[in-house]
A and B are shown apart, each in its own frame.
Chain A
Amino acid sequence: DQQVKQNSPSLSVQEGRISILNCDYTNSMFDYFLWYKKYPAEGPTFLISISSIKDKNEDGRFTVFLNKSAKHLSLHIVPSQPGDSAVYFCAASAKASGTYKYIFGTGTRLKVLA
């Protein structure tokens, strides 16, 4: 049961251009969404989050958009830099679970070309 899906396993973008990573979810109880960045042999590193009461959150080069009616969120990175090359996971949690466990997507490997 894949409640959180990232349909693009990989994405290549030229340095300086915009990277758009997409994530879809099925559980309408999710109320908090996050993006994590992961390098090989390291733990996920928190990048940016958004609560279900918002539709946009911005932090520097990173912006997350949430479309609740479509159950879709996206991460925009602009401008993309070679150091952004990593695997990006979206994650979702639900207050109803009581524990705020995260359900992760399968990840998208971003490669930013110099």
Chain B
Amino acid sequence: EPEVTQTPSHQVTQMGQEVILRCVPISNHLYFYWYRQILGQKVEFLVSFYNNEISEKSEIFDDQFSVERPDGSNFTLKIRSTKLEDSAMYFCASLLEAVAADTQYFGPGTRLTVL
């Protein structure tokens, strides 16, 4: 069964450093998402991406964040200058098409720890 994959599974970084989180969505899916979950809290929407551009972003997704689909296969989330409060699980998801009764499939997540 096709699945969303994410690398690395755990990333530790120093405050102020740049990190890139990688995702490989399901191959024929067209819509891509990043969510995050701070420990013990709910899963929060960050950004959606379609047709090589951001279609929607949340208030969390400020200028420190960017997304890219560099090669038609990978979907990356970059945090330019990490802060302590960026520590969270980051989940990538993909969706075949944005119609009712379709379902997003989530990757296993990357745990980001900012020291």
A and B are interacting partners:
yes
Given known pairs A41-B111, A46-B105, the reply for A98 and B55 (CB within 8 Å) is: yes
Whether B108 lies near A43 (C-beta < 8 A) is: yes
Count of A-B contacts with CB under 8 A?
A: 72
Whether B56 lies near A41 (C-beta < 8 A) is: no
Chain B interface, >50% SS class: strand
> Does A89 have its Cβ within 8 Å of any Cβ on chain B?
yes
Residue of B nearest to A95 (CB): B100
Binds B, one of A14-22, A62-70, A78-86, A104-112: A104-112
Whether A45 lies near B56 (C-beta < 8 A) is: no
Given known pairs A45-B106, A101-B33, the reply for A89 and B45 (CB within 8 Å) is: no
CB contacts (< 8 Å) of B89 on chain A: these are: 41
Cβ < 8 Å to B, chain A residues 23-52 = 31-32, 34, 36, 41-46, 49, 51
Cβ < 8 Å to A, chain B residues 92-111 = 93, 95, 98-109, 111
Whether B100 lies near A99 (C-beta < 8 A) is: no
CA gap between A46 and B98 in the complex, in Å: 16
Whether B44 lies near A104 (C-beta < 8 A) is: yes
Whether B45 lies near A101 (C-beta < 8 A) is: yes
Whether B45 lies near A103 (C-beta < 8 A) is: yes
CB distance from B53 to the nearest CB of A (A): 11
Whether A100 lies near B31 (C-beta < 8 A) is: yes
Whether A44 lies near B50 (C-beta < 8 A) is: no
CA gap between A32 and B99 in the complex, in Å: 10
Residues of B within 8 A of A (CB): 4, 6, 31, 33, 35, 41-45, 48, 50, 55-56, 89, 91, 93, 95, 98-109, 111
Given contact pairs A46-B103, A104-B42, a sample of 4 additional A-B residue pairs in the complex whose CB atoms are under 8 Å apart: A41-B89, A45-B106, A49-B101, A106-B41
